[in-house]
């Protein structure tokens, strides 16, 4: 989605923004739309070089924040309810917009006293870019914090800090400084009303807790991935080549050959120890039509995002491979068909929970799945054949559903 911004004079823009903010209190139903316009205009004042904004949710997908996870995190820090959305507007209108420059300079000044940060900044950012980054962060604080866009920005903070080598302790110190400066700049008109001051103070603490939780989580998960990569590198060139040989280049799932290899091993184990084993065959619905209408670059992006959603919907230990094209194979060890159907339904729900966006293209995607449970006389081919037949039944049933294998008479 691309937003074009036409800038007027600063005085005219401020008057328009103040009018919009007053309208919000009268009509809460237009809150998110009005504030989105206000935020974009304010950011354009700060750095007019922004000509467009391309919205993607790569960080949310990477770290598993779908609509449900976002709602759970908002509830965890006590920010649910429209009153808190109103407080986000109040924080911007009464504290950040009038004092944004002073708050930003205060943060930068505190960071200058830390030698380690000075070196990191010198290696990665010039002073103007760092100041623009702080402006962007502050003018987004508390704005429609229940949205995927807000979570995307906050998750990216931790991810980027990890990539450029900023220690967590420095980020946490900067957050505490920002928290202090926000409280310090609460105007006297609010301080004189104990109830209003208490409400705004609580909101500041909660919104900062939300931001810190997201940044720390993405930082730590990125760090863990980095450590795993380092360990992998230490195993030498042979191990790296082996990993490439078993991984699908586009989705980072197992490739076809390795998926079958795993299934052979797990089927032998299941038959030897009389343990349940299920296979799920899944296929993205009408994927050829998506490629024809939007092109293969969009199709590739959808495959990557769909793969990430499959991983987040499956359980730890479930094996997932790209079996071919838009078809995927799940191998669920120690799992009977009833438990497998729960996993399959959760994966199906994750896939179609939100449309997938790639630049201007917004595509609704669904998944059909077929499940088969291993039998004592099964081979890999017969087991896959039954799950494939169940998948075919799911297609005939209208797609976007889960079907179990046909029972033997």
Within 13 Å of residue 391, how many CA atoms lie on the same side as its CB? Answer: 23
Q: Is the pLDDT of residue 7 over 50?
A: no
Average pLDDT, the chain: 82
Q: Is the pLDDT of residue 383 over 90?
A: yes
CB 357 within 8 A of CB 55: yes
pLDDT at 231: 58
* SS3 of residue 327 by DSSP: strand
pLDDT in tens, 272-304: 999 999 999 999 999 999 999 999 999 999 999
* SS3 of residue 252 by DSSP: coil
The β-bridge relationship of strands 367-373 and 402-404 is parallel
Q: Is the pLDDT of residue 18 over 50?
A: no
Q: Is the pLDDT of residue 109 over 90?
A: no
Confidence of residue 112 (pLDDT cuts 50, 70, 90): confident
Residue 290 in tokens? 């998506």
Q: Which residues contact 202 (CB under 8 A, 6 or more apart)?
A: none
H helices then E strands: how many in the chain? 18, 7
Nearest Cα to Cα of residue 305 among 370, 244, 229, 253: 253
How do the domains of the chain map onto residue ranges?
A: 56-227, 246-404
pLDDT at 57: 74
User: Angle at CA 163, nearest 5°, toward 160 and 166?
Assistant: 80
pLDDT at 120: 55
pLDDT at 404: 97
pLDDT above 70 covers a percentage of the chain that reads 77
pTM over 0.85: no
CB-neighbour burial class of residue 247 (10 A; exposed 0-12, middle 13-18, buried 19+):
middle
pLDDT at 245: 86
Nearest Cα to Cα of residue 171 among 207, 143, 200, 211: 211
CATH architecture of the domain 246-404 equals: 2-Layer Sandwich (3.30)
The whole-number average pLDDT for the span 179-195 is 94
Residue 327 in tokens? 């078809």
Q: Is the pLDDT of residue 127 over 80?
A: no
Confidence of residue 20 (pLDDT cuts 50, 70, 90): very low
The β-bridge relationship of strands 402-404 and 361-363 is unpaired
- Taking the C-alpha atoms of residue 211 and residue 336, their distance in angstroms, rounded to an integer, is 40
The whole-number average pLDDT for the span 111-132 is 64
**Bridge partners, residue 371, by sequence:** 280, 404
| Matching residue, tokens 């998948």 | 391
pLDDT at 221: 79
Fold for domain 56-227?
Globin-like (1.10.490)
pLDDT at 52: 40
pLDDT in tens, 310-339: 999 999 999 999 999 999 999 999 999 999
CB 189 within 8 A of CB 76: no
Total residue length of the chain: 409
């Amino acid at each position: 989605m691309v937003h074009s911004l036409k800038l007027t004079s600063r005085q005219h823009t401020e008057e328009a923004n103040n009018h919009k903010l007053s309208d919000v209190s009268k009509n809460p139903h237009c809150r998110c739309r009005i504030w989105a316009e206000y935020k974009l205009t304010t950011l354009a004042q700060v750095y007019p070089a922004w000509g467009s904004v391309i919205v993607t949710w790569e960080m949310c997908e990477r770290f598993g924040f779908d609509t449900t996870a976002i709602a759970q995190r908002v509830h965890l820090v006590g920010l649910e309810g429209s009153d808190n959305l109103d407080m986000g507007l109040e924080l911007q209108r009464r504290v950040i917009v009038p004092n944004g420059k002073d708050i930003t300079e205060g943060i930068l000044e505190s960071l200058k006293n830390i030698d380690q940060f000075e070196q990191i900044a010198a290696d990665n950012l010039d002073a103007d870019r760092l100041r623009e980054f702080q402006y962007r962060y502050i003018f987004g604080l508390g704005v429609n914090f229940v949205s995927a866009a807000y979570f995307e920005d906050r998750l990216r903070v931790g991810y980027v800090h990890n990539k450029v080598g900023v220690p967590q302790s420095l980020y946490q110190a900067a957050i505490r400084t920002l928290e202090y400066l926000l409280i310090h700049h609460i105007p006297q008109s609010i301080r004189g009303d104990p109830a209003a001051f208490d409400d705004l103070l609580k909101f500041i603490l909660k919104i900062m807790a939300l931001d810190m939780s997201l940044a720390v989580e993405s930082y730590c998960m990125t760090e863990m991935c980095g450590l795993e990569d380092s360990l992998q590198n230490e195993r030498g060139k042979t191990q790296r080549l082996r990993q490439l040989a078993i991984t699908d280049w586009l989705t980072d799932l197992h490739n076809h050959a390795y998926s079958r290899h795993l299934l052979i091993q797990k089927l032998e184990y299941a038959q030897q120890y009389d343990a349940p084993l299920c296979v799920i065959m899944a296929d993205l619905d009408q994927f050829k039509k998506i490629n024809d209408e939007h092109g293969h670059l969009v199709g590739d992006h959808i495959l990557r995002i769909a793969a990430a959603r499959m991983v987040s919907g499956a359980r730890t230990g479930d094996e997932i491979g790209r079996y071919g094209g838009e078809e995927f194979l799940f191998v669920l060890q120690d799992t009977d068909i009833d438990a497998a159907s729960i996993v399959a339904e959760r994966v199906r729900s994750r896939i179609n929970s939100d449309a997938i966006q790639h630049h201007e293209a917004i595509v609704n995607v669904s998944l059909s799945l077929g499940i088969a449970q291993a039998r004592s006389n099964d081979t890999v081919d017969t087991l896959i054949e039954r799950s494939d037949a169940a998948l075919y039944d799911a297609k005939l049933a209208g797609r976007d559903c889960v079907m179990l294998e046909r029972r033997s008479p």
